Amino acid sequence: MTPTTTSRLKRGLLGLALSAVALAALPGAASAQTYKSEYRMSLVLGTAFPWGKGGELWANKVRERTQGRINIKLYPGVSLIQGDQTREFSALRQGVIDMAVGSTINWSPQVKQLNLFSLPFLMPDFAAVDSLTQGEVGKNLFKVLDQAGVVPLAWGENGYREISNSKMAIKKPEDLKGMKIRVVGSPLFLDTFTALGANPTQMSWADAQPALASGAVDGQENPMSIFTAAKLHTVGQKHLTMWGYICDPLVFVVNKDIWNSWTPADREIVRQAAIDAGKEEIAIARKGLVEADKPLLKEIAGLGVTITQLSPAEREAFVKATRPVFDKWKATIGNDLVAQAEKAIAERKK
């Protein structure tokens, strides 16, 4: 090979290399090869519930806005992890799950700051919830989640958790004495119901419904959208007390490796789709409860359920009974974060 030929060959190879670099720099070109044909979204509840509907809205918006580059399949019932809600966050961080609309309650064992929303009687109304999720507290919690290994994008809502049972109308803490109440796997929930004299029983939602039907468990606490969609009046839940002791925000998140495999443009599409879906999902979750006549409660009463609305004095008795639990958990969650939340709620626009 002559020196001239060698020189030409080198120039040709250099040109090819530069072309490859330029091509890789084009939006989507490099990472398009790493896109999966389908992404797995974990959900606790299906699309009959606002929670599952939020996941569906997000998936549809992403597919439409990316022209099918990002296709998402829903896995309700946390089926990717055999129905164990408390393992969802770890599985998301490890890549078993690609993305999720998850509950702050279910993720609180791994991210202790999320227990903030489970402090009994912290948030007296929806304006209080919004003052946290849409303000500085929400931003700080997103930083915590990012440091914990996921990419948080938007807030949704499961709703205020009201208490129902098969025995009697609950109007005061003493009414809960000895009552077997199904709760999720959170130590804070166990502490709260123990303080009220109840017998809190941890079990998955899949196990809860047959337990209620058989009378093995007396009662449960869940948002009204779950009460109606799951037809809890058919499993003995004839007494319902609106006590609004906690509200359960949801978080739209993506696994970090998956997030980093997308182009910056697609990441922004996924983020905005989550924000839009979150707003729509919150409206769905609150429907029938924010209107003056609360039509959802009328609907439930029409099913033969006795609904108890607590007076301010009656509610205060529950606040007082659970205050030691509130104070105990402040340090675990972070005194500064709790103080910031209390300040935001005090300053909220009602």
Show me where the domains of the chain are located.
Answer: 34-114+125-157+249-286, 162-246+290-346
The mean-pLDDT minimum among 72-86, 124-138, 212-226 falls in 72-86
Inform me whether the pLDDT recorded for 82 exceeds 90.
no
Q: In a 3-state reduction of DSSP, which class is residue 28?
A: coil
Inform me whether the pLDDT recorded for 63 exceeds 80.
yes
- Do 145 and 251 meet the contact criterion of CB atoms below 8 Å apart? yes
- Do 245 and 314 meet the contact criterion of CB atoms below 8 Å apart? no
Domains 34-114+125-157+249-286 and 162-246+290-346 are alike in CATH topology: yes
Q: What is the CATH number of domain 162-246+290-346?
A: 3.40.190.170
Q: What is the mean pLDDT of residues 252-263?
A: 97
Q: How far apart are CA 108 and CA 188, in angstroms?
A: 9
pLDDT band at 20 (very low <50, low <70, confident <90, very high): very low
Backbone phi, psi, residue 293, to 5°: -90, 0
Contacts of 151 (CB under 8 A, 6+ apart): 253, 254, 255, 256, 259
Pick the CATH number of 34-114+125-157+249-286 from 3.40.50.300, 3.40.190.170, 3.40.50.2300, 3.20.20.10: 3.40.190.170
Q: Put the strands of the sheet holding 150-160 in their side by side order.
A: 72-75, 39-42, 99-103, 247-255, 150-160
| Residue 103: DSSP 8-state | E
Q: Is the pTM of this model over 0.85?
A: yes
